Amino acid sequence: MTLTAARVRGVAIARRDRKQAMADDPYKGPQSDFPRVTLRLVWRHVLTVLISGASVYYAVSACTLPFADSVWMGEIPLLAIPQLPKSLVHEYAQDFLMWLLRITGFSSGSPSPDMITTHSYAMLAITTLPLTLLIGLATLTRSLRSVRRPFLLLVLLAGIDAGVSVWFDQTSNLSLY
């Protein structure tokens, strides 16, 4: 028997076995020749989508922030819209830090000096918190080699965005944070 004839005979035997299995258990159905979708494959796809979205956000945020004061529509600086998530995190961080000042007894008794005191620490929180979370996620996903390079690009973009945010906060007259 030739190799081709053996392959044809093997395929025929496999089909017969599948039909027999379906006859034994009609609810089981035929075995698929497609690869199984595993949790690892789904996790890799979800990570790829999240990394891509976050990379686009950090790139847009870092590129539009230096020009945030140049395009206005009424009273809204349009190029500052990508900064809204960071402004929200800054507000929560500053509220938490002001609460800490009050309960520890270091508060001056007036909100304005406390806001000035906590502003730099809140900026530190909004720039380092995302990087810390990303590096923590990297330690959990070490085995997924396919997302390593996009992930490193994401960390680089987050670092650039953090630097641009600190620079903008120190040099611009427009107060976003």
| Residues 4-46: tens digit of each pLDDT | 554 545 555 555 655 565 555 555 555 555 566 677 778 788 8
Looking only at the bridges linking them, the beta strands covering 72-73 and 76-77 are: antiparallel
Q: Which one has a higher pLDDT value, 118 or 3?
A: 118
| Residues 123-163: tens digit of each pLDDT | 988 888 888 887 777 777 666 677 778 888 998 999 999 99
Residues 42-63, mean pLDDT to the nearest whole number? 90
Q: What gap in Å lies between CA 109 and CA 90, rounded to an integer?
A: 21
pLDDT at residue 21, as a whole number: 57
pLDDT at residue 152, as a whole number: 85
Please report the sign of the dihedral spanned by the C-alpha atoms of residue 138, residue 143, residue 145, residue 147.
Answer: negative
Q: What gap in Å lies between CA 97 and CA 114, rounded to an integer?
A: 9
Q: Which one has a higher pLDDT value, 134 or 91?
A: 91
Q: What gap in Å lies between CA 75 and CA 124, rounded to an integer?
A: 28
